[in-house]
Amino acid sequence: MLTKQELEEFWAEAGKIYLNHISIDCVVFGFHEGQMKVLMLKSNNEEAWYLPGGFVLKQEPIENAADRILKERTGIDEIFLQQFYVFGDPDRSKIHNEMYKDMLPEDQNFFAKRFISIGYYALVDFFNVTPTPDNFSEICTWRDLNDLPRFQLDHELIFKTALDTLRLQLNYQPIGYNLMPKEFTMPELQKLYETILDKKLDRRNFQRRMLGFGILNKLETTRKGGAHKAPYLYSFDLENYQAALKEGLKSGW
Amino acid sequence: MLTKQELEEFWAEAGKIYLNHISIDCVVFGFHEGQMKVLMLKSNNEEAWYLPGGFVLKQEPIENAADRILKERTGIDEIFLQQFYVFGDPDRSKIHNEMYKDMLPEDQNFFAKRFISIGYYALVDFFNVTPTPDNFSEICTWRDLNDLPRFQLDHELIFKTALDTLRLQLNYQPIGYNLMPKEFTMPELQKLYETILDKKLDRRNFQRRMLGFGILNKLETTRKGGAHKAPYLYSFDLENYQAALKEGLKSGW
């Protein structure tokens, strides 16, 4: 945890290291067995929760910046972050401006500037990932989508826009490869879709549509051990899955 | 057209007016009766073609900036521009840096900076729009997608990414309201999709799928005057069309 003086030194140095006016915010959704969460940080200095975000180094490609920022702020590495929207309201960083304006004269205060933020999002299995807070944060943790804290700045808008994007994306991109076990049943896959969409889907429509995409292999084994009729097991057809990631699902024109 | 001195004055002033490091580029696709074009500018000072682009005023929301830039640079107003991607390679504006570096010392030279560009795109009826060049351009015109000039900077990447986005969007959003006459035949609407996708579609599949979206009204009148059997006329069901714009086409989950 940083002292007030260390924080002031950081803000004074930041303008020499980072591009002015541009920030990145990451919305990392976590899924595991029917539960959906989002990765958040609680600041040291305020009773306030944020999405993990940061700044772009002067000569750094923005994709690298997104990966680096997520790693520095949460310890999480090697996940596929996708751009989804840019947040450019001139007042979006005003709370910060107010908060830090007494600490340093404006020309030395990186945070007194206007920031346009590029939103990145990802969906991971939260069971495989251990969030770790950085020096600016007291807590870095998965928050349940049904029990979210109040977001600071415009981070609720960023979160909601990412969730809308994820839900829309379910219509034209395959999903689930990193979220399901290697072999899974159709009801287990349906649960993933239902959790993301936050609604019930019709079992028969789901199965017909999902099989129509041609991204699943039906296995010869069934799930053993239940009281009911053993359900069929499926795995993803990786070649078709990858092709669908590039060209969209077969429902396309 | 600006003199070299006027241009130097503009660059010296630009840093006081505009946010550093952020630009906007617009990809405006034009469609009319089976033809697809893109709006481009030819610079005064070089044998070089650009997409219409510009900078964000210090206190301007980025959406307003996109509208203003398109209007200032091409005379085109009141079209619906959508964000589609951010281009953040650190070397993407290098040609400009080289070109302008002898004109002004670097600290006064707005264009010597690194720029991250937010891409916006739109699709309009080019028949209703008259492109007009600004003082930086010699020509502002619609270029045929089959006869494009060499793009300057990374503008070919920006153009191609916009085209990919438009094609992907056809799978989950309705299109055509501003591009088709009030009443149209199914083959006329199919021609719009085929032109954007640059491929032939099956007539019966197209009709079945399009009707399945529930965004068309079949009219009681038919198209008169042809030698063949008169085809049915359709119009868009505006209420359903608007709903589909918000929530995605019915093919969604």
Domain ranges for chain B, please list them. 4-169, 186-247
Is A171's CB within 8 Å of B252's CB? yes
pLDDT band at B223 (very low <50, low <70, confident <90, very high): confident
Q: Which residue has the higher pLDDT, B112 or B52?
A: B52
Is the model's pLDDT at A15 over the cut of 80? Answer: yes
Three-state DSSP state, A44: coil
**Main-chain dihedrals φ then ψ at residue B128, nearest 5 degrees:** -95, 5
Give me the pLDDT at residue A113, please: 87
Q: Top-level CATH class of B4-169?
A: alpha beta
Q: Which residue has the higher pLDDT, B43 or A74?
A: A74
**Main-chain dihedrals φ then ψ at residue A136, nearest 5 degrees:** -90, -10
Question: Counting beta carbons within 10 angstroms of the beta carbon of residue B234, is it exposed (0 to 12), middle (13 to 18) or buried (19 or more)?
Answer: buried
Strand partners, A194: none
Give me the pLDDT at residue B224, please: 73
Give me the pLDDT at residue B23, please: 97
Give me the pLDDT at residue B101, please: 64
pLDDT band at B99 (very low <50, low <70, confident <90, very high): low
CA B247 – CA B253 distance, rounded (Å): 11
pLDDT, average across residues B105-132: 88
Of A19, A63, A197, the CB nearest to B253: A197
Give me the pLDDT at residue A1, please: 61
Give me the percent of chain A exceeding a pLDDT of 90.
66
**CATH number for the domain whose boundaries are B186-247:** 1.10.10.10
pLDDT band at A10 (very low <50, low <70, confident <90, very high): confident
Using alpha carbons, select from A217, A218, A219, A221 the residue that is nearest to residue A240: A217
pLDDT band at A102 (very low <50, low <70, confident <90, very high): low
Give me the pLDDT at residue B1, please: 61
CA A109 – CA A97 distance, rounded (Å): 9
Of B61, B65, B90, the CB nearest to A60: B90
pLDDT band at A214 (very low <50, low <70, confident <90, very high): very high
The mean pLDDT of chain A is 89
What was the ipTM of the complex prediction?
0.89
Is the model's pLDDT at B205 over the cut of 80? Answer: yes
CA angle A230, A236, A239 (to 5 degrees): 150
Is the model's pLDDT at A181 over the cut of 70? Answer: yes
pLDDT, average across residues B197-224: 91
Using alpha carbons, select from A57, A52, A115 the residue that is nearest to residue A87: A115
pLDDT band at A225 (very low <50, low <70, confident <90, very high): low
Strand partners, A31: A36, A125
Is B86's CB within 8 Å of A86's CB? yes
CA B47 – CA B151 distance, rounded (Å): 10
Q: How far, in Å, are A43, A153, A160, A253, B31 from residue A48 at the CA level? A: 6, 9, 18, 46, 49
Phi-psi region of A36 (alpha: psi -120 to 50; beta: other; left: phi over 0): beta
A-chain residue closest to B252, CA distance = A171
**Main-chain dihedrals φ then ψ at residue A56, nearest 5 degrees:** -100, 125
Chain A interface, mutation test: which of B94, B107, B116, most A Cβ atoms within 10 Å? B116
Q: How far, in Å, are A38, A104, A183, B13 from residue B20 at the CA level? A: 32, 21, 51, 12
pLDDT, average across residues A80-90: 96
B-chain residue closest to A19, CA distance = B21
